[in-house]
Amino acid sequence: MKIDSCLFSPFALRNLTLENRLVVSPMCQYSADDGCASSWHTIHIGSMLSSGAGLFVIEATAVERRGRITPQCLGLWSDENAAALKSVLAAVRQYSAVPVGVQLSHAGRKASTHRPFIGKGPLKHSEGAWPVMGPSAIPFAEGWPVPQSMSLEDMRVVIDAYVSATKRADEIGIDLIELHAAHGYLLSAFLSPLANDRRDAYGGSLENRMRFPLEVFDAVRGAWPEGKPMGVRCNGTDWHPDGIQVEDAVAFARALRDRGCDYIDVSSGGNCYAKVPVGPSYQVPFAEQIRKQSGLSTMAVGMITEPCQAEEILSTGKADLIGIGRAMLNNPHWPWRAAETLGGQVGVPWQYYRAATRNGVPPPYVVN
């Protein structure tokens, strides 16, 4: 069957071919036990993998215990973490062939915080807070801890942690890695003048501020199998006149492209408190500009909630992939609705096939 929809056309990333351009964005679940996936992850990941999306990316996953955002964040810093996640994947992959990626992360100066639904801001010492670090001794905001300014040895330790987590991801069968370099976490903080005022080779000019994130990328790419794709999430802007601008993101994307990056996932904000003009497709212009000026494939994210909205973004060349986050939590079968609207086809577990109809008629869905 010929599919005219851009959203439901395949997309190749190295040896991995996605059945469609829909990606379930990484979404923190704050439900791990010392970094180990829990029963909730079986429920959540199983739900997302039965959605019919082309790719599912596991939430921000810490490469070090001290790199967690909250005490309940997922990790891959230990063999126990890897074994727990492997068990979850073994359970859910019996029923879905959707590729699975993982977003490797280090929270940097924004580590050691409460889960969002418990309360905002950093943990207190009595609540189990741990020391945080960053490119410079600049706290995220008033009332936040002053991070330790990282030494060269600290950087080497973190790079080694990324490499170890990468090898564990490969061993448990992960298909794709995305580095988290957005939202003010460690790699994002190095990129942003708001968090990085170093006077050495890792601060000052944009070239210097990119140095550590690119060193992390090179180390991970070197440890990751050649045939498996790798992407990066970064900020298109900090929404602050003294922070990251889209031109900086374009330069970062070009450097990543030259190092073998396969796509860039364009988000924004998080290096300071800022007034963000949130609205439908509000981050898409950054993805569009980066795609056009760097030649690197982009993923558009942020308040993309309607199938025709996603289709327009792709068909007009603003991005190559569409990341859906909160809309997937609201409706885990969002891709089914998009397929009905756009005339596409998605994978459906046979147990759900009788429910996946278009106007009461069974559509040309692929039964997993």
Torsion angle in degrees (nearest 10) through CA of 286, 289, 295, 296: 0
Say which residues have a Cβ less than 8 Å from residue 295's Cβ, sequence separation at least 6: 254, 257
Please count the helices (runs of H) and the strands (runs of E) in the chain: 10, 14
CB atoms within 10 A of CB 226: 9
Residues 182, 47: Cα–Cα separation, whole Å: 26
Residue 352: active-site member:
no
Of these residues, 30, 185, 263, 365, which one is catalytic?
A: 185
DSSP 235-284: ES--SSTTS--HHHHHHHHHHHHHTT--EEEEE---SS-------TTTTH
DSSP element (H, E) containing 323: strand 321-324
Q: For residue 349, how far is the Cα from the chain centroid?
A: 26
Q: Which helix (DSSP H) or strand (DSSP E) does residue 116 occupy?
A: none
Residue written as token pair 């009595």:
126
Task: Write out the catalytic residue numbers.
Answer: 185
